[in-house]
């Protein structure tokens, strides 16, 4: 048994040495945790770079694809051959296009027709044709007759060299190789001439290439590390939107992960220095500090279980005191966030929620009657489309639709009340201000939702789905605004006849239209561009109402130029 006559040695052995060893253990765990976080941050940044490189390829493919679509539409419309030749000339003049031609179906004698035997009525989806060793990809679109038979084919050859031009500059700064492969891993193009003749990804047995090929089958994008610490190579991949291809980037591991490697060295150096310093110091104030940290840790455990408790007392203005103060502020922020989430739901902008909390009636069950702008959006003919999809595909498509719409509504300061199948109910609350700006915001939001449908339909076409159409109705009127429900479960929303009227207004619209009620239309100081207006007989309304289908807004009214709805 050791007997110490020196208090310093006692403290070093019984307090400082175990503390140093404990700190060493926590330091190693902290390094592993921090290294993991740094690696995740790099992966997120790497995916963004990959997305930029993939977007560049998509942009280079989109231009000829758009001209192909224009050619097909002109052929189906029966426009004269001069127009078609002009479009072909535009295609041939595009950068990267090596050849563009229309080959009509052969006659019975075996010679090609100089012109189509009849006007096409449709076209098949554009196919991407390529073979091993080719330096270009062929975009082939078949023109179809009324019976679905082929009348001819539009063929456009695009150089892989053009598609891959400067692609490394759009990816990672440290990348040395970019490859373009199809979804089966077959090489289409690459930036390294030494790879010429290679057939497919992973054919050499390289474990990193095999891992990429496997991940491509289940993921849209990702990054992978090769063997070694640090890995000798790292790679990332990203699926293109316009073609069934994948862009793959490679880089040296020591260059890509250089910040993590430096962090490891400096972290180890700093940790060793701290242990030496701790072992050389005897501080009688260690125990109060540990006790303060223990109280914070215990309080954090209570917070993790949902019990926020009272704020911890701040006894001194040193680092421990500031830590305690920061912890109290963090707990207060968590309490506010949970309260906002429980009271106003997941889909309200926190800034709007904080404005509502300034009104005392917003925090209690019940509400008040006031005029608001109401928006109701609904997908047209979605049910028959969903019947032809698997449940997984349906949910994926609906989630994509709602995620896009939620973002648009939040950007326009809208408050989402609820989702109804494939429909959305939202409103725009002027609070204590005039109603006209909110009506303008609702109309602008509706038009932005229609624009967002373009991205959704692009995604739908990518997975083989028909085009979706959205109808959006906008109305203004008096409703009851507040917390609706019971003491145990309530939701901030609106009720009233104006809500039902908005739903019926959108029901009178066609897919792709934004319609305003006459009450909403009158609030615009500068009338919006009206595509059409019509009378509609709505259930519960004795007289027909006038609806205005718009496609463009004027400038948003200023507060000094409008009056409230009560005027």
Please compute the mean of the pLDDT values over residues 367-380 and round it to a whole number: 91
Predicted local confidence at residue 169, as pLDDT: 80
Confidence bin at 171 (pLDDT 50/70/90) = confident
Please give the residue range of the domain that contains residue 413.
348-557
Pairing of strands 514-517, 469-485: parallel
532, two tokens: 């059409």
3-class secondary structure, 115: coil
Establish if 144 belongs to a structural domain.
Answer: yes
Q: What is the pLDDT of residues 511-550, one digit of tens each?
A: 999 999 999 999 998 889 999 999 998 887 888 999 999 9
Domain count, the chain: 2
User: Residues with Cβ < 8 Å from 509, sequence gap 6 or more?
Assistant: 471, 472, 473, 515, 547, 549
3-class secondary structure, 183: coil
Q: What is the pLDDT of residues 384-417, one digit of tens each?
A: 888 888 888 888 888 888 989 999 998 998 988 8
Q: What letter does residue 195 receive in the DSSP assignment?
A: G
Domain boundary among 140, 162, 184: 162
The whole-angstrom separation of Cα 517 and Cα 503 is 11
The widest CA-to-CA distance across the chain, in whole angstroms, is 115
CA–CA distance from 31 to each of 70, 86, 163, 269 (Å)?
57, 64, 42, 12
Confidence bin at 106 (pLDDT 50/70/90) = low
Residue 553 phi, psi dihedral angles, 5° rounding:
-115, 155
338, two tokens: 């949970």
Establish if 492 belongs to a structural domain.
Answer: yes
CA–CA distance from 465 to each of 63, 125, 239 (Å)?
22, 12, 18
Do 159 and 188 form a contact (C-beta atoms < 8 A)? no
Does the pLDDT of residue 427 top 50, yes or no? yes
The whole-angstrom separation of Cα 567 and Cα 562 is 10
Establish if 423 belongs to a structural domain.
Answer: yes
Do 514 and 529 form a contact (C-beta atoms < 8 A)? no
Establish if 524 belongs to a structural domain.
Answer: yes
Establish if 119 belongs to a structural domain.
Answer: yes
224, two tokens: 């992978």
Domain boundary among 162, 177, 197: 162
Establish if 214 belongs to a structural domain.
Answer: no
Do 237 and 215 form a contact (C-beta atoms < 8 A)? yes
Q: What is the pLDDT of residues 249-294, one digit of tens each?
A: 888 877 767 677 777 777 777 777 776 776 666 555 556 666 777 7
Of residues 466, 465, 449, the one with CA closest to residue 512: 449
pTM above 0.75, yes or no: no
Rg of the chain's alpha carbons, rounded to an integer? 32
Confidence bin at 469 (pLDDT 50/70/90) = very high
Domain boundary among 162, 193, 209: 162
The whole-angstrom separation of Cα 19 and Cα 282 is 12
Q: What letter does residue 299 receive in the DSSP assignment?
A: H
Q: What letter does residue 186 receive in the DSSP assignment?
A: B
Residue 200 phi, psi dihedral angles, 5° rounding:
-150, 160
pLDDT above 90: percentage of residues in the chain: 19
Predicted local confidence at residue 281, as pLDDT: 64
424, two tokens: 């959305």
Mean pLDDT of the chain: 79
CA–CA distance from 457 to each of 42, 70, 97, 325, 338 (Å)?
31, 18, 27, 50, 35
126, two tokens: 């554009």
- Residue 546: enclosing H or E segment and its boundaries? strand 545-552
pLDDT above 70: percentage of residues in the chain: 78
Do 476 and 377 form a contact (C-beta atoms < 8 A)? no
Residue burial 526-558, b: 16+ Cβ < 10 Å; e: rest = eebeeeeeeebebeeeeeebebbbbeebeeebe
Q: Which residues pair with 313 in a beta bridge?
A: none
- Higher pLDDT residue, 56 or 329? 56
Report the side by side order of strands in the sheet with 187-190.
187-190, 175-182, 245-252, 233-239, 221-225
159, two tokens: 């150089």
The whole-angstrom separation of Cα 291 and Cα 180 is 59
Please compute the mean of the pLDDT values over residues 184-195 and round it to a whole number: 82
Confidence bin at 215 (pLDDT 50/70/90) = very high
Half-sphere exposure of residue 535, counting CA atoms within 13 Å on the CB side? Answer: 5
CB atoms < 10 A from the CB of 82, how many?
8
Does the pLDDT of residue 6 top 50, yes or no? no
Establish if 470 belongs to a structural domain.
Answer: yes
Of residues 492, 494, 458, 454, the one with CA closest to residue 478: 494
CATH of the domain at 518: 3.30.70.1230
Establish if 375 belongs to a structural domain.
Answer: yes
Does the pLDDT of residue 299 top 50, yes or no? yes
């Amino acid at each position: 048994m050791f007997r110490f006559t020196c208090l310093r040695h006692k403290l070093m052995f019984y307090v400082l040495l175990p503390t140093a060893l404990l700190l060493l253990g926590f330091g190693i765990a902290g390094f592993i945790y921090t290294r993991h976080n740094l690696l995740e941050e790099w992966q997120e940044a790497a995916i963004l770079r990959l997305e930029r490189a993939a977007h560049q390829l998509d942009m280079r493919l989109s231009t000829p694809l758009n001209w192909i679509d224009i050619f097909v539409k002109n052929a189906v419309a029966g426009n004269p051959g001069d127009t078609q030749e002009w479009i072909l000339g535009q295609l041939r003049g595009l950068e990267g296009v090596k050849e563009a031609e229309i080959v009509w179906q052969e006659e019975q004698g075996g010679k090609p027709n100089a012109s189509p035997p009849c006007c096409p009525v449709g076209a098949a989806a554009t196919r991407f044709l390529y073979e091993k060793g080719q330096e270009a990809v062929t975009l082939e679109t078949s023109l179809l007759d009324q019976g679905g038979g082929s009348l001819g084919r539009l063929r456009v050859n695009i150089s892989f060299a053009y598609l891959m031009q400067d692609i490394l500059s759009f990816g990672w700064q440290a990348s040395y190789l970019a490859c373009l492969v199809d979804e089966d891993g077959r090489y289409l193009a690459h930036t390294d001439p030494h790879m010429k003749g290679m057939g497919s990804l992973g054919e050499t047995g390289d474990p990193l290439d095999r891992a990429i090929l496997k991940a491509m089958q289940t993921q849209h994008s990702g990054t992978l590390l090769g063997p070694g610490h640090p890995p000798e190579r790292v790679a990332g991949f990203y699926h293109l939107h316009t073609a069934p291809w994948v862009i793959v980037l490679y880089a040296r591991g020591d260059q890509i992960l250089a910040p993590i490697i430096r962090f490891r060295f400096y972290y180890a150096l700093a940790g060793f220095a701290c242990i030496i310093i701790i072992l050389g110091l005897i501080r009688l104030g260690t125990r109060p500090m540990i006790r303060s940290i223990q109280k914070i840790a215990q309080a954090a455990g209570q917070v993790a279980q949902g019990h926020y408790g009272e704020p911890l007392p701040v006894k001194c203005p040193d680092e421990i005191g500031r830590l305690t103060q920061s912890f109290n502020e963090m707990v207060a922020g968590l309490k506010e966030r949970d309260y906002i989430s429980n009271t106003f739901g997941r889909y309200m902008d926190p800034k709007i929620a904080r404005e509502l909390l300034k009104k005392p009636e917003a925090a209690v069950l019940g509400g008040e009657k006031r005029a608001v702008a109401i928006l109701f959006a609904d997908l047209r003919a979605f049910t028959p489309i969903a019947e032809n999809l698997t449940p997984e595909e349906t949910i994926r498509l609906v989630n994509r639709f709602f995620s896009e719409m939620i973002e648009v509504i939040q950007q326009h300061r809208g408050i989402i009340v609820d989702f109804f199948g494939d429909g959305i109910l939202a409103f725009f609350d002027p609070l204590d201000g005039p109603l006209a700006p909110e009506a303008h915001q609702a109309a602008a939001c509706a038009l932005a939702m229609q624009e967002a449908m373009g991205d959704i339909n692009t995604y739908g076409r990518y997975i083989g789905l028909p085009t979706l159409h959205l109808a959006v109705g906008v109305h203004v009127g008096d409703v009851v605004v507040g917390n609706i429900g019971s003491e145990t479960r309530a939701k901030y929303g609106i009720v009233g006849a104006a809500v039902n009227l908005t739903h019926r207004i959108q029901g009178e619209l066609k897919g792709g239209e934004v319609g305003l009620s006459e009450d909403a239309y009158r609030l615009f100081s500068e009338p919006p561009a009206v595509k059409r207006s019509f009378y509609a007989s709505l259930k519960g309304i004795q007289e027909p109402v006038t609806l205005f289908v718009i496609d463009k807004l004027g400038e948003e009214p200023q507060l000094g130029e409008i009056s409230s709805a009560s005027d």
